[in-house]
Structure 1
Amino acid sequence: MSNEKLFSFQTGKVTHFTTVDYVLFGLLLVFSAGIGLFFAIKDRRHNDTKTFLMAGGNMNPFPVALSLLASFMSAITLLGTPAEMYNYTTMYYWIGLSYLFVAFGAAHVFMPIFYRLRVRSAYEYLEHRFSKGVRTAGSMTFCFQMLLYMALVLYAPSLALNSVTGFTLWGSVISVGIVCTLYTTIGGMKAVLFTDSFQVGMMFAGLLAILIQGNIELGGFANAWEEAEKSGRVYFTDFSPDPKVRHSAWSLVIGGTFTWVAIYGVNQAQVQRYCTCPSLKKAQLAIWLNFPGLCLILYLCCLIGMVVYAFYSKCDPFSFNLVKTSDQLLPLFVMDVLGHLKGFPGLFVACLFSGALSTISSGLSALAAVVLEDVIKAYFFKNLSENAATNTSKVLAFVFGIICLGLTYVASLLGGVLQAALSLFGMIGGPLLGLFILGMMFPWANKWGAYSGLLLGLVFMFWIGVGAQIYKPYNPKAPINITGCNWNLTTTAAPATVSAFNQSIVSTSATPFFNSTEPAPVTEDESVLAPLYALSYMWYSATAVLFVVVVGLIVSLLTGPEDPKKIDPKLICPLFDILFPYLPEKIRKPMRFGVRHDEVDKESKEGGIFADINTDVLNQEIKVDSVEKGKEREANGFVKTENGNAPTKNGVENGGYAVIETEFVSHL
């Protein structure tokens, strides 16, 4: 390929991959599969579920943090966020503030509950708190959500690859899906964690390459910012309380907090990851290490979006079908500014698929764990051997990978990937979050309230979501310009979709190009429920939580509320103790609503509600060497300590191993 830079708005054509680009993309798949194969060989003698699903329970917080970051900062974020900047305004920057509250909530509100119970499936909590049926309902809801989300994540980068290379859309879907399924199936959680760590590096490398080269083409980021200001895209001050406003500061910070807490707080894919750390403190460290990474990826994508707009500010690529969907915008930009540099487009697509591979592998591992623990072991084979359980997990991961491939066609019908993904989190993840909040923070709730809240919450949110697709809310986009397109047009005029409004650029003032409270055009066939359908998708999760909690409490009160004094305090979150630990005890005690947290506090070794679980939790698991050795040691009254020191008689000291049964030791 010539080194001459021929941009699409000069030629009307899209540059395609070179051989070097294909090689780089292929190496990503080969390396990812190689990591899975490496851990399959390395851990071949440890064919147990703790190794396969929990990575042995002794992972360093740093790779766990990178895996947490990669799991849901996927190709959807990499494609959708720059398109958001191009199509709308900079209001989306506000969602970064919600990540701070998400990290706090996940690390200090939800995570300690799961560590207290020593769960492998997050939905085990629902059985302890409500009933086995509620546990099953929660886990099946999660499976449905995760399968749809993984299909969306797989489809998005495949569409991008198709748009910039000519490589068949479904060929890329199948090849990437199969590679991801194989390395997750054979390598287990360790393969997922270390592959995610590598893939995060690929994501950052790709984003930085795009941003740097884009700024070079524009003569600096100041020029990009100036162009965005001229179009009214630089706009941070929409504080409208109207929930119908697509993006306001309130919807992005408050609504975004609920949306992402549903992911980081109670989603099995994330719970399973931070439970691979050996202690609560290390798991909390992994969450907080993950926080700056979330912000860095978000703001890199936002800055790239502003550069993309400045680059096409005089020639909108949508107007003449250079791209057909917003998700193809960034790939077009990459081929324009990096296409003359062999290998860099391949790096970009490898960056996109790194996000996809990490998310899908995380999802497959989580689905395998949930179905094994919540369905197979809970209902069919309670005494399943470790070898059989591990092999079953591998089969489940493989089967779910195939199902995910089939559902990718459904994902292709959902429109823009960023809004579709966040809407999905709200419609399904929101009611699930509401179910956990109902159980953890409202000790009066019973199982009937849980059933009713979850079921009606899902129905209500799907009603809103489907209605929003039928009666699409009025969300005007930013103005565009086509006066700078330099190639000879074969059409006699601009397409009809390019209105006079869109062809004009607004003044250089900082005034936004539209008023957030501007009324939508009224049509005769508009539904009377249109205001409900116009609810911003960023409020879906918060709305679902409120609906589930209110319905759950009402039904619980009608059917006989639980007595807070009789509930195991390990199942209830002492929220006011966490938020206001320095208030006097006489103020905090009434806020526990009768739950016996003070008794747990007295039993703690170091004082404090959760102090007793800041030890190596998963390493407290009792190990069985063999029946013969166990009997011999039990007869002699000795057990082996973990650090290999002298035996301890008649029991297990902190950190030691007993040889009695394969259950977790509770210090509570």
Structure 2
Amino acid sequence: MVGTGGPVPTFSVWDYVVFIGIVVGASGIGLFQAIRSRKETSSEEFLLGGRQMTAVPVAMSLTASFMSGITVIGTPAEAYLYGTAFWLFGFSYALMSIVTAELFVPLFYRLRITSAYEYLEMRFSRPIRIIGTSMYIVQTALYTGLVIYAPALALNQITGLDLWGVLVATGAVCIIYCTVGGLKAVIWTDVLQMVVMLVGFVAVIARGAVVQGGLTKIFEDAGEGGRLDTFDFDPDPRKRHTFWTIVIGGSIMWASIYSINQSQVQRYISCRTLGHAKMALYINMVGLWVTVSLAMLSGLTMYSIYKKCDPITNDDVATSDQLLPYMVMDILADYPGIPGLFVAAAYSGTLSTVSSSINALVAVTMEDFIIPLWKNRTEKQVTWLNMGLSVFFGALCIGMAGVASLMGSVLQAALAIFGMISGPLLGLYLLGMFFRTPNSIGSLSGLLIGLALTLWVGIGAQIYPATADKTNPLLLTVIGCNSTMSQNHTTQPPWTTAAPLTTLPSVRPPLADSWYSLSYLYFSVLGVIATMVSGFLISAATGGCKQEKLSPTLFIRKSDLICFGGCRTSEAQHTKEKIIVQGIDNNAFTEFPPEMLSKDREVITKL
């Protein structure tokens, strides 16, 4: 009987057929794009799709990239355990989209960069660019490991397939179409994967509504279980999810992801015009709203079904991240192919994110490390190196999945990683974009101070998890299970996947219940503030950058905020501004071949 605990069925033949068919279809899109663009083998074509992408596919790719398998697996579990406070991220997505579209995208698009971290060298110095790139590589490798691990858990739970076999297969599929297809393959594959993710959620919600007697019953159960108490205006920064931590902390955290993360920036600058780039972000905002709403509804459906028999407490699953796969097999096993569709949804989210990460890692490695040092290169050598790096980073991400398996609840762990590393980086960009005083010494010092603080609090929170009065887990019970262990329990998401409950250290230092209990959503806020304040003060103390001539194109302009429909910047204007910023005699950018510089001089003369 549904919702009463115990073993559930595993995959049928049709489930495997549907799952394999969708994965093969996604890979086929990548291969098709590779064949279609086989005559266009330039590095710009591989990494940026020739800068000819349009708003809708880029928007769907943006949504798919970070609404990954972690969203499919982790967000419904969040609603099941904590209620619908996570829905407030809708406000964060809106604020993030406005800030990114109106401040960051015009700047990056105007500078015609390939790596987001090129800006750090233009504004500050090459060492800062290298440090920023290195931080991105570490962050992305860790995050991608989590993304690979999440659906592997799901497959392991409901198919019995070997966990590490699934991990390796995931990486292999992504490597294939990333290596041969480049960014176009990634974006068009993301479009299919986004559709599959949404269909998977709808199938779960629809069947759950039938089982429970309608959506009204699901909301009634959720209300009785305290899952609809969304708004908590407690200003305590140590409480995990409140209105303030999500709207303020969440907005800055998501801005640090969408504004300066190479995986996202690479998509904006692949658009054919600035108008397309901005529109992609606003369409993506709607996509995020739809995705998180379906994920929340799936979680409420799960609570309605298991309100009297919690699978975690009843030892039916080992971790909260296996809850949704367990429910899928419990309520959909009688419909061959549908469980396969759900697993394909989780798997599709993973493929989209991993492929995006691999492509972005290749881009920053080439632009920030290899091209500036490799002068006598041919286009064919660059193409082969792009492919080789795709294989290398695919293998690295598979290896990081092993580390991810130790980090527990995938949703919080993933967002905490971004807060710890992207927060200080966002502060560095804001220093450079809005103020002329910050110099290289002060900005680098500010970045290191901000990073030290976020790593301190983030690692401390991992070792000394916050207590239940800060995380507020809601009541769960097993009184309706066929065989129960005990009766009423509250459950916290684990920081280790070995047990359903977080085991707190027996001896907790004084900082454990104050500093280390800071909400993970405030890690990015801490990083931004610490980096900007310390960077500005140290820059002022070391003379600022009065002696340096800084191009106006490196700063936010009023025209960036009002340009939308008329943002069709000409290729010649892009070229002019790029040379004004970089300088044709700047040793940091001597990778441009003489014939290109000659052509650019002619363009500027005509202007």
Amino acid at match of 1:571: L
On the 8 A contact 1:57/1:618 being kept in 2, the answer is no
The residue aligned with 2:118 is: 124
Q: Kindly tell me the number of residue pairs found equivalent between the two proteins.
A: 573
Amino acid at match of 1:396: L
DSSP-derived class of the 2:510 partner: coil
Distance 2:597 2:230 in 1: 61
Aligned residue runs from structure 1 range 43-58, under 5 A: 43-58=37-52
Deviation per CA, 1:244-273, whole angstroms, max 9, x where unpaired?
111111111111111111111111111101
Which of 554, 559, 567 pairs up with 2:542? 559
The residue aligned with 2:485 is: 494
- CA gap 1:19/1:276 in 2 versus in 1, 3 angstroms: same
- CA gap 1:502/1:270 in 2 versus in 1, 3 angstroms: closer
- CA gap 1:169/1:325 in 2 versus in 1, 3 angstroms: same
| CA shift for structure 1 position 176 | 1.4
- Establish whether residue 342 from structure 1 lines up as the match of residue 296 from structure 2: no
- Establish whether residue 477 from structure 1 lines up as the match of residue 497 from structure 2: no
- Establish whether residue 101 from structure 1 lines up as the match of residue 90 from structure 2: no
Which of 221, 229, 232 pairs up with 1:238? 232
- CA gap 1:664/1:305 in 2 versus in 1, 3 angstroms: farther
Distance 1:565 1:45 in 2: 44
DSSP-derived class of the 1:480 partner: strand
Deviation per CA, 1:56-103, whole angstroms, max 9, x where unpaired?
111121111111111100011111111111111221111111111111
The residue aligned with 2:156 is: 162
Distance 1:174 1:424 in 2: 23
DSSP-derived class of the 1:614 partner: coil
- Establish whether residue 192 from structure 1 lines up as the match of residue 186 from structure 2: yes
The residue aligned with 1:548 is: 531
Deviation per CA, 1:505-555, whole angstroms, max 9, x where unpaired?
xxxxxxxxxxxxxxxx99864334530110001111111101111111121
On the 8 A contact 1:621/1:664 being kept in 2, the answer is no
Distance 2:356 2:118 in 1: 19
- CA gap 1:471/1:322 in 2 versus in 1, 3 angstroms: same
Amino acid at match of 1:481: T
Range 396-405 or range 385-394, more displaced: 385-394
DSSP-derived class of the 2:476 partner: coil
Deviation per CA, 1:445-464, whole angstroms, max 9, x where unpaired?
11112211222222211110
- Establish whether residue 84 from structure 1 lines up as the match of residue 84 from structure 2: no
Which of 384, 393, 402 pairs up with 1:391? 384
Distance 1:75 1:411 in 2: 14
Which of 2, 7, 16 pairs up with 1:7? 2
Distance 2:565 2:159 in 1: 55
Distance 1:392 1:193 in 2: 21
DSSP-derived class of the 1:205 partner: helix
Aligned residue runs from structure 1 range 16-415, under 5 A: 16-378=10-372, 380-415=373-408
Distance 2:101 2:12 in 1: 45
Distance 2:602 2:92 in 1: 35
- CA gap 1:182/1:308 in 2 versus in 1, 3 angstroms: same
Which structure is larger by alpha-carbon Rg, 1 or 2?
1
On the 8 A contact 2:30/2:188 being kept in 1, the answer is no
The residue aligned with 2:568 is: 614
Distance 1:88 1:558 in 2: 47
Distance 1:616 1:208 in 2: 43
- Relative to the length of structure 1, the TM-score reads 0.82
- CA gap 1:525/1:153 in 2 versus in 1, 3 angstroms: closer
Deviation per CA, 1:392-433, whole angstroms, max 9, x where unpaired?
111111100011111110000001010001100101111111
Distance 1:306 1:17 in 2: 24
On the 8 A contact 1:58/1:278 being kept in 2, the answer is yes
The residue aligned with 2:590 is: none
Structure with greater helix percent: 2
On the 8 A contact 1:33/1:179 being kept in 2, the answer is yes
Distance 1:371 1:365 in 2: 10
The residue aligned with 1:436 is: 429
DSSP-derived class of the 2:515 partner: helix
The residue aligned with 1:535 is: 518
- CA gap 1:524/1:346 in 2 versus in 1, 3 angstroms: closer
Distance 1:182 1:400 in 2: 12
Amino acid at match of 1:547: A
On the 8 A contact 1:158/1:169 being kept in 2, the answer is yes
On the 8 A contact 1:17/1:165 being kept in 2, the answer is yes
| CA shift for structure 1 position 145 | 0.6
DSSP-derived class of the 2:514 partner: helix
Range 382-391 or range 548-557, more displaced: 382-391
DSSP-derived class of the 2:292 partner: helix
Distance 1:147 1:409 in 2: 11
Distance 2:325 2:90 in 1: 24
The residue aligned with 1:641 is: none
On the 8 A contact 2:450/2:526 being kept in 1, the answer is no
Distance 1:241 1:45 in 2: 58
Distance 1:368 1:347 in 2: 31
Give the CA RMSD over aligned residues: 2.5
- CA gap 1:527/1:186 in 2 versus in 1, 3 angstroms: same
Deviation per CA, 1:339-364, whole angstroms, max 9, x where unpaired?
11000000000000110000000000
On the 8 A contact 1:430/1:540 being kept in 2, the answer is yes
- CA gap 1:454/1:314 in 2 versus in 1, 3 angstroms: same
Mark the runs of 5 or more structure 1 residues left unpaired by the alignment.
Answer: 1-5, 504-520, 582-607, 623-656
Amino acid at match of 2:271: C
| CA shift for structure 1 position 367 | 0.4
Distance 2:85 2:364 in 1: 37
- Relative to the length of structure 2, the TM-score reads 0.90
Which of 566, 570, 573 pairs up with 2:553? 570
- Which has the bigger relative contact order, CA under 8 A and spacing at least 6? 2
Amino acid at match of 2:539: S
- CA gap 1:446/1:621 in 2 versus in 1, 3 angstroms: closer
Amino acid at match of 1:413: L
| CA shift for structure 1 position 563 | 3.0
Distance 1:664 1:76 in 2: 50
Amino acid at match of 1:392: L
The residue aligned with 1:517 is: none
Aligned residue runs from structure 1 range 458-469, under 5 A: 458-469=451-462
- CA gap 1:572/1:619 in 2 versus in 1, 3 angstroms: closer
On the 8 A contact 1:61/1:277 being kept in 2, the answer is yes
Amino acid at match of 1:479: L
On the 8 A contact 1:29/1:176 being kept in 2, the answer is no
| CA shift for structure 1 position 611 | 9.7
Distance 1:618 1:339 in 2: 59
On the 8 A contact 2:112/2:574 being kept in 1, the answer is no
- CA gap 1:565/1:234 in 2 versus in 1, 3 angstroms: same
Distance 1:30 1:125 in 2: 38
| CA shift for structure 1 position 664 | 11
Amino acid at match of 1:569: P
Range 27-36 or range 257-266, more displaced: 27-36
Identical columns (%): 43
On the 8 A contact 1:51/1:57 being kept in 2, the answer is yes
The residue aligned with 1:421 is: 414
Distance 1:229 1:295 in 2: 22
Distance 1:93 1:349 in 2: 23
The residue aligned with 1:599 is: none
